[in-house]
């Protein structure tokens, strides 16, 4: 069985944040602190291996820890950050969370690890209704598949998941865990809920 200490984790902060008016989402304030700090606060009690994937504000992110950019240019999306995380982290299993979901549960790492079976390539969080494609745990053996996938111009994570042995971790007991703050409106709307 996979133990949480055998994993390392990457906070995905490499997007363009178009709906946030182009502002770097990791530094958008929520409850008086930047979203990147919320993400670190969620992971820090669960793992001691945390890095950040970012494509701008590198110096600022580096003040929080190890930071690396996508290997593919033109912001191809979260999959490029995952690809970079798999290449840069030392553990066989690398987990990912977005920087804009400040309500993820404090047992997220354990729930994802518990779902791993012997032949699993990828574990994806599932809230009972929908899969949450960027809250995931991946094995390094899929690097060649992601390489090929991105090189041919594919971007949809769900299509990659269909090409791999993907299983789901049950997060149905955490209905508000996956609220993500993509726009100023969502910050305002969910601020009261969270």
Q: Which residues are annotated as a binding site for GTP?
A: 12-14, 25, 53, 100
Other Cβ atoms less than 10 A from the Cβ of 191: the count is: 12
- Do residues 141 and 122 touch, judged by C-beta distance below 8 A? no
* Interatomic CA distance for residues 137 and 44, integer angstroms: 16
- Do residues 41 and 49 touch, judged by C-beta distance below 8 A? no
* Interatomic CA distance for residues 125 and 168, integer angstroms: 6
Q: Which residues are annotated as a binding site for Mg(2+)?
A: 100
Q: Which residues are annotated as a binding site?
A: 12-14, 25, 53, 100
* Interatomic CA distance for residues 47 and 191, integer angstroms: 27
Instruction: List C-alpha distances in Å: 156 to 59, 133, 147, 163, 164.
Output: 29, 10, 14, 12, 14
């Amino acid at each position: 069985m996979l133990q949480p200490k055998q994993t390392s984790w990457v906070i995905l902060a490499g997007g363009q944040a178009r709906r946030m008016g182009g502002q770097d989402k990791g530094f958008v304030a929520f409850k008086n602190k930047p979203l990147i700090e919320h993400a670190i606060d969620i992971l820090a009690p669960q793992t001691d291996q945390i890095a950040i994937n970012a494509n701008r504000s590198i110096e600022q992110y580096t003040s929080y820890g190890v930071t690396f950019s996508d290997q593919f240019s033109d912001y191809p999306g979260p999959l490029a950050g995952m690809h970079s995380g798999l290449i840069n982290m030392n553990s066989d299993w690398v987990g990912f969370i977005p920087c804009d979901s400040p309500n993820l549960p404090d047992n997220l790492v354990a729930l994802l690890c518990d779902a791993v079976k012997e032949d699993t390539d990828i574990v994806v969080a599932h809230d009972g209704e929908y899969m949450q494609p960027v809250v995931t745990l991946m094995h390094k053996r899929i690097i060649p598949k992601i390489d090929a996938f991105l090189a041919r111009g594919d971007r949809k994570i769900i299509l990659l998941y269909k090409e791999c042995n993907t299983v789901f971790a049950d997060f149905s007991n955490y209905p508000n865990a996956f609220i993500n703050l993509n726009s100023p409106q969502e910050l305002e709307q969910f601020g009261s809920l969270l």
